[in-house]
Amino acid sequence: MCGIVGYVGKRKALPVLVDGLKRLEYRGYDSAGISLVQKSEIKTWRAVGRVSELEKKLDLAEAGNVGIAHTRWATHGAPSEKNAHPHLDCGKNISLVHNGIIENYTELKKILIKKGHKFSSDTDTEVVAHLIEEIAKKKSFLMAFREAVKILEGTYGLAVITNKEPEKLYCARKGSPLILGVGRDEFIVASDASAIINHTKKIVYMEDGEIAEITPDSFNIFNGKNNHKEDKKIFEINLSDEQVKKQGFPHFMLKEIHQQPEAVRNALLGRVEKFTKDGGTSVLGGLRDVENRLKKIRRMVIVACGTSYYAGLTGKYLLEEFADLPTEVESASEFRYRKNTIDRHTAVLAISQSGETADTLEAVREAKLKGALTLGIVNTVGSTIARETDAGIYCHAGPEIGVASTKAFSSQLSVLVLLALMLGRERKLSFSESKAIAKEMEKIPEKIEQILENKNAIKKLAKKYARCTDWLYLGRKYSFPIALEGALKIKEISYVHAEGYAAGEMKHGPIALIDEKFPSFFVAPSDSVYEKTMSGMQEVKARKGKIVAIATVGNKKIKELADDVLHIPESLEALSPFLSATVAHLFAYYVGTERGYDVDRPRNLAKSVTVE
């Protein structure tokens, strides 16, 4: 997804901007560009492809202490140099970069063309530059900027420079994150913290509707309602530069799979203490403020996308089994646009790694409007979803850079287990049941480590199957969401066609696909539905389909049906998803690398999808 960096300070802006763009590369993009204010001129460079392509066109010693930069992920207009940001007005006096979508750009463009403006791209963004230009004919730049953003419909994070005020950078935010890094004699604006943390840990979060006016010495942030100056809090963020690097792993994805034990430990930290003392319940400080409302809820609706959605499906099983709480899981993108029956006895739980996914955010807003209690399970601290939900639980998985989500999934599952136990104890779950689950939960990181130690077996198998172009991923009950997650992961990074199915559904259709060239990946731990899963395996075998199976260690019998078996340690049925997911993630990773792909930056994908 698009990324923004802006600099205003005493240093040369270009090296800071280029470095910032490289740090945003993980978000996924197709082109990049930079504008600098140089004396009374604006100089702009753009390139299609990687930031390294843009860098070839630049001389890092170039003068200019104020500038903006962007990585673009195409929405309106093909990935091309003319569509890459920054975009300028007719007079080349205003340059801006934009994240989000301007929904009324067609109407605005028509009006501006009538007024004589000439457009040079197919983007929605360019209208903003011309709109400001038009209004600035009669007003100060700040006034024009303010007025222009009021006319815009849709979402935006905007960073703007003008040669009329060469020492200033202007920003505005609505629905697309923007943060301001506060350095000594300098400010760095970015769409996420990774572009800032090597310069400063002091951060100001911009809120929707706010406009910022920034010089090397100061910043003013005005609210959108009455243009009053806001007294903004400066936060200290706890994110090291090292955390966002690969630490010796060939890919972020592999590093992050290896961080799954740590991610689970961090999610549990300080939250299961009470199991050894009174009550046998988890301690979720983030929910304290809504404790009473939470006790009264009769229904949970989980909204999320992609991998977070699959964590949500697992959450449904957990919440219904342990908390007796009727739970539905809905794709966030569907939630907003249909009539739903949520009310104040419903809690709507948004799950999101980034906390910026537009579909999920809009679902939260819709739920709020309907009077539901909104909760979040979010990884990125201070993100929009974290801030807009009534209460929430942070995952504490650390930054996830690989586009394919892995460790965030494990930490989301951990938080869901804790939530199910907490709500369960308030309802019918006994102390001994709860304690047993919590105790086993604390062993999960070690069990994931055992899988990681054996990763070469998975690598070998991935090599054997790397040329297969179709897969059916199958699982029942707790293993069903893992089948979906495994299929998504292999699709994303190996560009292999894979379908995730409830194993019991296979015989209702997908079985028609099975032959000796169409393998199946069964998630089949020794659980309450094992025998049923085996029936599905028999059906595949009978049609000469190849089978790879995840099975519990010690299960030798499965070899009678499966061609290849990957073992996971024994655990409780409800916690087996942690273990099978690690295997499925590693399998997808090795198939992707074996096929020669850049698994950290899969084609067409964005880390954080901030458009609906």
Residues in touch with ligand M6R (CB under 6 A): 305-308, 352-354, 357, 360, 403-405, 492, 605, 608-609
Residue number with CB closer to ligand M6R (148 or 609): 609
Residue number with CB closer to ligand M6R (353 or 582): 353
- One-letter amino acid of 31: S
Q: What is the nearest approach in angstroms of ligand M6R to the Cβ of residue 354?
A: 3
Residue number with CB closer to ligand M6R (333 or 520): 333
Residue number with CB closer to ligand M6R (331 or 454): 331
Alpha carbon distance 488, 234 (integer Å) = 39
- Is 468 one of the annotated active-site residues of the chain? no
Residue number with CB closer to ligand M6R (121 or 357): 357
By beta-carbon distance, which residue lies closest to ligand M6R?
306
Q: Are 180 and 171 in contact (CB under 8 A)?
A: yes
Instruction: Please calculate the CA angle 143-147-149 and round it to the nearest 5 degrees.
Output: 120
How do beta strands 156-162 and 94-99 pair? antiparallel
Q: DSSP assignment, residue 224?
A: T
- Is 2 one of the annotated active-site residues of the chain? yes
Residue number with CB closer to ligand M6R (74 or 436): 74
Question: Cα–Cα distances in Å, from 208 out to 15, 154, 609?
Answer: 29, 12, 18
Structure tokens at 477: 């009950």
Q: What is the nearest approach in angstroms of ligand M6R to the Cβ of residue 593?
A: 16
Q: Are 272 and 319 in contact (CB under 8 A)?
A: no
Choosing from 22, 407, 435, 607, which is the catalytic residue? Answer: 607
Q: Are 59 and 89 in contact (CB under 8 A)?
A: no
Alpha carbon distance 257, 262 (integer Å) = 10
CA 279 to chain centre: 35
- Given phi > 0 = left and psi -120 to 50 = alpha, else beta, which region is 506? alpha
- Per-residue HEC secondary structure of 93-141 comes to CEEEEEECCECCHHHHHHHHHHCCCCCCCCCCCHHHHHHHHHHHCCCCH
Question: Cα–Cα distances in Å, from 210 out to 132, 364, 604?
Answer: 17, 21, 31
Q: CA 254, 358, 388, 377 torsion: positive or negative? A: negative
Burial of 296 (0-12, 13-18, 19+ CB in 10 A): exposed
Angle of helix 576-594 relative to helix 455-465, nearest 10 degrees, comes to 50
Among 360, 353, 442, residue whose Cα is nearest residue 398:
353
Tell me: cis bond preceding 86? Omega within 30 of 0 counts: yes
- One-letter amino acid of 297: I
Residue number with CB closer to ligand M6R (14 or 350): 350
Q: What is the nearest approach in angstroms of ligand M6R to the Cβ of residue 588?
A: 9
Q: What is the nearest approach in angstroms of ligand M6R to the Cβ of residue 315?
A: 13
Residue number with CB closer to ligand M6R (305 or 318): 305
Contact partners, residue 501, CB within 8 Å, separation at least 6: 472, 473, 474, 483, 510
Strand ranges in 424-576 using DSSP code E only, listed in sequence order: 470-475, 497-502, 520-524, 547-552, 564-568
Residue number with CB closer to ligand M6R (100 or 280): 100
Choosing from 2, 171, 305, 468, which is the catalytic residue? Answer: 2
Report the number of secondary-structure helices (H) and strands (E) in the chain: 18, 24
Instruction: Please calculate the CA angle 269-388-27 and round it to the nearest 5 degrees.
Output: 75
Residue number with CB closer to ligand M6R (398 or 569): 398
Contact partners, residue 73, CB within 8 Å, separation at least 6: 1, 2, 27, 28, 29, 30, 606
What residues are annotated to the active site?
Answer: 2, 607
